[in-house]
Structures are given as structure tokens and as C-alpha cells.
Amino acid sequence: MLSTLRIAIATLLLAGGAPALAAPPCKPAQLRLTVDGADGELNGMSHAGVALSIRNVGPDCTLAAPPLVALRDARGRPLRTRARAAPVAKALLYLGGGHRAVMVLRWIAAPVFPNSRQLQAAEVRLRFGRVSLGAPLDARLYGAAGKAVEFEQGPLRVVEGMAADL
């Protein structure tokens, strides 16, 4: 019976379950957002993309998922874009100290529309409730003229692995 309970608790920990209720919300100072081009793995067929990595350099905490994603130009102005986000099963994501969560963004990177319009993004911003994070981004997105340029927002998932030394 005790070993079954331990397995159930371990499963919840790996899945980001029960501890989310006990861990406080993440603070901006304990999170680091980085952009990874994934060595071009997300590029092809007129599309491009990046993996966004959020590392928790502080104690265990929770993030309200999914985040709102905004792209900005070189002057810091918001770009007229719309995210197509994957459905999310839970509202809180448990992020252990030293661990990270990853999300993929993909967009059309070539003028494939009649009357295509181009946007140049210089920054990506993520908002998790009151927590806001930003990182430099060099991305050229295309969309149909007169409409918001769309990008795909993959689910935010915790990456399993050893916690980094804090």
C-alpha cells in the first residue's frame, strides 16, 4: 500500500500535478527566458520557429499556463499578431527549482499570400498572470494583408531532467 502511494505521488510530481497547489506563484526574478533556434529544426516549408525556454533559478513555484505571447518591434511597439495556441489541460504548471519549461513558436516565414505583409519581430514577451518575461527575437513573419499575422503557440511543458545547481 505504501509503495503504491509513493508511486502515485511520484507520478503526480513528474506530471506537474499535486505540488502545484503547494508551491507559490513564480516571481519574475527567479525566471530566465531564452530563445533557441533549435539548429533550424523548426524551419522549412516556408515556416520558421524557435523554442522558448523558461528556467527557474529559484525555489519551486507555479506558472499560470498557457502564457499570453506578444511580439514587439525594435522600438518596443506591439506587433499586430495572433497566437493559435494549443489546448491546455491545466491552469497551473509546477516548475521545480533548477528545472525549465519549453514552448515552441512557429510562423510563416515567406511571402506565400497574395498581397503578403511582413512583420519584423525584435522581442518576444510572455505573460503568466502578473509575471511578464521578455527576450530578444529576430524573426520575420508573413501574413495576409489586412489581417493580424498568425503564429502557432505550442503547449508549455516541463522538461524532465536533473535540476541545475542553484
55-76 pLDDT, tens digit each: 999 999 999 889 999 999 999 9
**Among the listed ranges 87-91, 114-118, 141-145, 160-164, which one has the minimum average pLDDT value?**
160-164
Phi and psi at residue 160, in whole multiples of 5°?
Answer: -70, 150
Distance in angstroms (rounded) separating the CA atoms of residues 72 and 93 = 26
Spans of all domains in the chain = 2-159
Average pLDDT of the chain, as a whole number: 85
Return the SS3 of 114.
coil
Residue given cell 516541463 in the structure block: 158
Distance in angstroms (rounded) separating the CA atoms of residues 13 and 19 = 7
Does residue 144 surpass a pLDDT of 80?
yes
* pLDDT number for residue 19: 53
* pLDDT number for residue 1: 46
Does residue 17 surpass a pLDDT of 70?
no
Does residue 13 surpass a pLDDT of 50?
no
Under CATH, to which class is 2-159 assigned? Answer: mainly beta
